[in-house]
Amino acid sequence: MLINRDTIIKDDNPLIRQKSEDVKLPLSKEDEDLLRALLQYVEDSTDEKKAEEMNLQPAVGISAIQVGIPKKLTAVIVNEVDKNDKPVTYKYMLVNPRIISSSLQQAYLSSGEGCLSVADSHEGYILRSARIKVKAFDLVSNKEIEIRARDYLAIVLQHEIDHFSGTLFYDHINQDDPFFAPQDAKEI
């Protein structure tokens, strides 16, 4: 499946607001191929040369609905540093991910969020849980997993899981005060 700037659906397409369906396990060949294509897009999009040659926009995650397929499939690659300041890469191909717990403390990206399906700029803070626990089947490890995510990884996972309900990041921006952030919210 070809995934690039031209094949990713934008927010003017009503399909992006469609609710995604659960995916049956074990994965069909079609669903597995789609999930692998999503991960390949994320990997290739962060390589400047490949991104230019293949017409890709840099991304840390992409969900199936963004290529017009309303299934709960998402691929994420996040590079961070752990609590010991060591680089760590989180790479997932998630099937039916769901948030099973979340912190009361909120977090937001100081630069705001972006999305492959959103061409226009939407300024403002998107408040999300600072820490979450996600349960899903992961094709990378080929098993059911539980992810304890915090900070940037938690934000990325919440952003992608939002796509399953047809929610886009800018739906979370406070219309009255776009840059409002509670005192105890964590700025990332």
pLDDT tens sequence across 20-68: 999 999 999 999 999 999 999 999 999 999 999 999 999 999 999 999 9
Supply the DSSP symbol for 185.
P
Q: How many domains does the chain have?
A: 1
Rounded to whole angstroms, how far apart are CA atoms 62 and 41? 8
* pLDDT category of residue 83 using cuts at 50, 70 and 90: confident
Instruction: Please return the burial class of 48, using the count of CB atoms within 10 Å of its CB with bins 0-12, 13-18 and 19+.
Output: exposed
Q: Residue 162 corresponds to which tokens in the numbers above?
A: 């939002």
CB atoms closer than 10 angstroms to residue 110: 9
Does some domain include residue 1? Answer: no
Q: List the CATH number of the domain containing 61.
A: 3.90.45.10
Residue 179 in any domain: the answer is no
Quote the percentage of the chain above a pLDDT of 90: 97
Examine residue 5 and state whether it is found in any structural domain, yes or no: no
Q: Which of 30, 48, 160, 187 is catalytic?
A: 160
Q: What order of strands is seen across the sheet that includes strand 143-150?
A: 61-63, 73-81, 87-102, 131-138, 143-150
Backbone angles phi, psi at 153, to 5 degrees: -60, -40
Positive or negative: CA dihedral 115, 121, 3, 87: negative
Structural domain containing residue 23: 14-173
Q: What is the mean pLDDT of residues 12-18?
A: 98
- H-helix or E-strand spanning residue 124: none
Is 43 a known active-site residue? no
